[in-house]
Amino acid sequence: MNSAKMLTVAGCLSALLAGWSTQAVQARDLTVVSWGGNYQDAQRKIYFEPFAKKSGKPVLEESWDGGIGVIAAKVKAGVPNWDVVQVEAEELALGCADGFYEKLDWSKVGGKDKFLPAAVDDCGVGAIVWSTALSYDANRLKQAPTSWADFWDVNKIPGKRGLRRGPKYALEFSLMADGVPPADVYKVLGTPEGVDRAFKKLDQLKPHIVWWESGAQPLQLLASGEVVMTAAYNGRISGINKTEGKNFKVVWPGSLYAIDSWVILKDSPNKDQAMDFIAFASMPENQVKLPEYIAYGLPNKEAATAVPAAMQKELPTAPENLSGSAPLNADFWVDNIEELNKRFNAWLAQ
């Protein structure tokens, strides 16, 4: 091969490479990431597809299972390959403190006063209010459980129980079963004695627990009769009641609710479009369509009041559902998740 030929080949190659890399950077459309399952199906219908139609550009979507490490890896790579992500409260607090998210333009979403105070953050706009609650199959259980104390009482209602694997939720519910009122759970859990107390109570139920990890599992466990009751996400419960005609019930007292938020990853190449998308998904006329598909509460106050009364009572934000429940304390978990997870694993392995 003579040098002229080689140069040509090298030139072609580098042109190809350059073309490929710039294309990779420029051509990626707005990428929205959410939690999959029937929840994301609903979001696709009411947010993703209408927004793509309105903006005239396709919206790419992906699913994830949370974890600040995932966000950290994406942002530290330079140009993230996700733009808009729906995150849980801890990821919002952690990522905002660590500079993983863009600061939002609140004037575009209509101002902070249009939203529940807990749904307002420099880095995120609340997307839904969701609950983790005791649920059971009313067609199987003749005696309905009404509290976490019932959940712990294997003599009253025999059978296995499902809990999310990990200290989060398990420790709170365990304290409630031990008689701590929901409002005081984090006060107790904030002390070493409180943590010991929670683990001790958890000990009693240990042989009867089936641990689950993903949100779809508890539904499957209930449906197959593998467990008689389980902690589960309220929206998925009402979702499966609708789509598969189940008669699963949610016990609202003692449930823990939390807010998921939309964020934009730092240095996203589609930042403006991402902001437009969040604004679109936060408009009351769009948000109000969500409860038809899945029973999550709406952080936009105007949207929340516009939900038909029949659907209201299934939402975590309904006053009668809120009364016996408590908000998940994201700050507590941001500080303590690592230590408690270590202890939880050790406890589980005993």
Residues lying near another protein in the complex (CB under 8 A) are found at: 67-70, 72-73, 75-76, 94, 97-100, 165, 206, 209-211, 213, 217, 220, 224-226, 331, 334-343, 345-350
Minimum CB separation of residue 304 from another protein in Å reads: 30
Q: Of 256, 252, 222, which is closest to residue 145 (Cα–Cα)?
A: 252
- 48 vs 332, which CB is nearer to another protein? 332
The nearer residue to another protein, 73 or 144, going by C-beta atoms, is: 73
Specify the residue, 89 or 94, whose C-beta has the smaller distance to another protein: 94
Please give the Cα distance from 41 to 273 (Å, whole number). 21
Name the minimum Å distance from CB 329 to another protein.
11
Nearer CB in complex with another protein: 19/190:
190
Angstrom distance (rounded) from CA 236 to CA 256: 15
**Minimum distance from CB of 302 to another protein (Å)?**
32
Nearest residue (CB) to another protein, 93 versus 278: 93
Indicate the residue among 172 and 314 with the shorter CB distance to another protein: 172
- DSSP 8-class letter at 122: S
Q: How far is the CB of 73 from another protein (least distance, A)?
A: 8
Q: How far is the CB of 213 from another protein (least distance, A)?
A: 5
- Side-chain half-sphere CA neighbours of 2 within 13 A: 1
Round to whole Å and give the CA distance between 344 and 337.
Answer: 10
CA atoms of 63 and 85, how far apart (whole Å) = 9
Among residues 165 and 301, whose Cβ is nearest to another protein?
165
Q: Which of 234, 236, 228 is nearest to 255 (CA)?
A: 234
Could you say which DSSP state residue 48 is in? I
Q: How far apart are alpha carbons 315 and 47 in whole angstroms?
A: 20
Long-range contacts of 110-118 (CB under 8 A, 24+ apart): 110/279, 110/282, 110/283, 114/300, 114/301, 114/302, 115/282, 115/299, 115/300, 115/301, 116/259, 116/299, 116/301, 116/304, 118/259, 118/299, 118/327
Question: How long, in residues, is the chain?
Answer: 350
Cβ 175 to another protein shortest distance, Å:
18
Minimum gap (Å) between residue 259 Cβ and another protein: 19
